[in-house]
Amino acid sequence: MARKPRTIITCAITGAIHTPTMSDALPYTAEDIAHQAIAAADAGASILHLHARRPEDGGVSVDTEHFRAFLPQVKQATDAVVNISTGGSLTLSIADRVKPAETFSPEMCSLNMGSMNFSFHPLAKRYDSWKFDWEKDYVEGSEGNIFRNTFKDIREAATRLAPHDIKFEHECYDVGHLYNLKFCMDIGLFKAPIFIQFIFGILGGIGPEVDNLIFMKRTADRLFGDDYRWSVLGAGGAQMPLATTASQMGGNVRVGLEDSLFISRGVLAESNAQQVAKIRRIVEDLGCEVASPDEAREMLGLKGGDRVNF
Ligand code: KMH
Ligand code: ZN
């Protein structure tokens, strides 16, 4: 029997776009981000998707000094691939959002493949108290925000980052984003193999049903043939079920507190590493093996950890 491909586990340590600090486990200081990223890598994550936050109040940050405060530590302690977010926040310009990736030239960075509603305002009703002052207004205000990722923004990000030979994690929240990506590939913005993160369950994007995963995968097969690798991110309660399904379909998986604060229904996760350990256990129990960082580098055609700037 042919050996199943290895499963790459990405761990998204601390998103800032849609995850305020509503769990004490969510890291927001540089020390905690580094500590949890290293523990997630030790637990089996071969890629670490990283945002920065303001250490004083956990707010969204694209300040390069906030990234500098944890990147060298992560690099020294692990061999994991570092993937820097260019998502930033719902209100920043693309030039500001790509600055950390331009500065640190990581092996990977995220790239969001279309403009969309990206809302988490229903969360506001679930909380009576907030850890920091900015959080309630930010969460409620997401009802009126557009997450802007126009073709011009995508071209600007790709052009600014082209000299750095960075592999993009193309974040596709709906089927139209796959067609956007195809258009961008056809005009020469990205090199094969591209890496697509199929995202399910964000309010504004496609819902977290298995049918939708199959539809996204079938569409990507038609558009990209052998020129792509893929992974699945289910937001909130869809995280583990969709990751499990993806791994059984030969795909890769993304977990992490950025996308779900929970380890099981109604139970907050203690850490990112706990989520990585859980999906690793499931993947291995079901007969697959997880990819090491070097195997992930080979599968995705990455430039190598010695060519980053931190
Ligand atoms: N948390 C994801 C749903 C980015 O960093 O570029 C969105 C995200 C965007 O990861
Ligand atoms: Zn992110």
Express each pLDDT in 196-254 by its tens digit.
999 999 999 999 999 999 999 999 999 999 999 999 999 999 999 999 999 999 999 99
Which residue CA neighbors atom 4 of ligand 1 most closely? 87
Q: What's the rounded mean pLDDT across residues 278-295? A: 97
Give the distance (Å) from ligand 2 centre to CA of residue 259. 8
Q: Report which of 7, 1, 2 is spatially closest to residue 276, judged by C-alpha positions.
A: 7
20: pLDDT strictly greater than 70: no
Cβ partners under 8 Å of residue 30, min gap 6: 52, 55, 66, 69, 70, 73
For residue 110, which atom of ligand 1 is closest to its CA?
Answer: 6
Report the pLDDT value the prediction gives residue 19, as an integer from 0 to 100: 66
Provide φ and ψ at 227, rounded to 5°: -90, 15
CB 196 within 8 A of CB 228: yes
Report the pLDDT value the prediction gives residue 1, as an integer from 0 to 100: 58
Which residue CA neighbors atom 2 of ligand 1 most closely? 259
Report the pLDDT value the prediction gives residue 3, as an integer from 0 to 100: 64
CB 310 within 8 A of CB 75: yes
Report the pLDDT value the prediction gives residue 2, as an integer from 0 to 100: 61
The pLDDT tens digits for 154-205 are: 999 999 999 999 999 999 999 999 999 999 999 999 999 999 999 999 999 9
Q: What is the mean pLDDT of the chain?
A: 95
CB 246 within 8 A of CB 231: yes
Q: What's the rounded mean pLDDT across residues 133-158? A: 95
For residue 258, which atom of ligand 1 is closest to its CA?
Answer: 1
21: pLDDT strictly greater than 90: no
Domains along the chain with CATH numbers: 6-117+148-303 (3.20.20.70)
Report the pLDDT value the prediction gives residue 144, as an integer from 0 to 100: 96
Report the pLDDT value the prediction gives residue 141, as an integer from 0 to 100: 93
For residue 86, which atom of ligand 1 is closest to its CA?
Answer: 6
The pLDDT tens digits for 76-98 are: 999 999 999 999 988 899 999 99
Pocket of ligand 1 (CB under 6 A): 12, 15, 17, 85-87, 110, 112, 171, 199, 202, 235, 258-259
Q: What's the rounded mean pLDDT across residues 44-61? A: 95
How far is it, in rounded angstroms, from Cα 81 to Cα 179?
A: 27
b or e along 115-133 (b: 16 or more beta carbons within 10 Å of the residue's beta carbon)?
bbbbbbeebbeeeeebbee
Computed over its alpha carbons, how large is the radius of gyration of the chain? 18
Report the pLDDT value the prediction gives residue 80, as an integer from 0 to 100: 98
308: pLDDT strictly greater than 70: yes
CB 286 within 8 A of CB 247: yes
128: pLDDT strictly greater than 90: no
How far is it, in rounded angstroms, from Cα 17 to Cα 60?
A: 7
3-class SS string, the chain? CCCCCCECEEEECCCCCCCCCCCCCCCCCHHHHHHHHHHHHHHCCCEEEECEECCCCCCEECCHHHHHCCHHHHHHHCCCEEEECCCCCCCCCHHHHHHHHHHHCCCEEEEECCCEECECHHHHHHCCCCCCCHHHHHHHHHHHCEECCCHHHHHHHHHHHHHHCCEEEEEECCHHHHHHHHHHHHCCCCCCCEEEEEEECCECECCCCHHHHHHHHHHHHHHHCCCEEEEEEECHHHHHHHHHHHHHCCCEEEECCCCCCEEECCEECCCHHHHHHHHHHHHHHCCCCECCHHHHHHHHCCCCHHHCCC
Provide φ and ψ at 52, rounded to 5°: -115, 155
Give the distance (Å) from ligand 1 centre to CA of residue 87. 6
**Residue 6: both structure tokens together:** 């290895």
CB 109 within 8 A of CB 168: yes
Report the pLDDT value the prediction gives residue 131, as an integer from 0 to 100: 87
Least confident range of 6-15, 18-27, 178-187, 241-250: 18-27
For residue 87, which atom of ligand 1 is closest to its CA?
Answer: 6
How far is it, in rounded angstroms, from Cα 68 to Cα 31?
A: 11
Report the pLDDT value the prediction gives residue 16, as an integer from 0 to 100: 72
Share above pLDDT 90 across residues of the chain, in percent, rounded to a whole number? 89
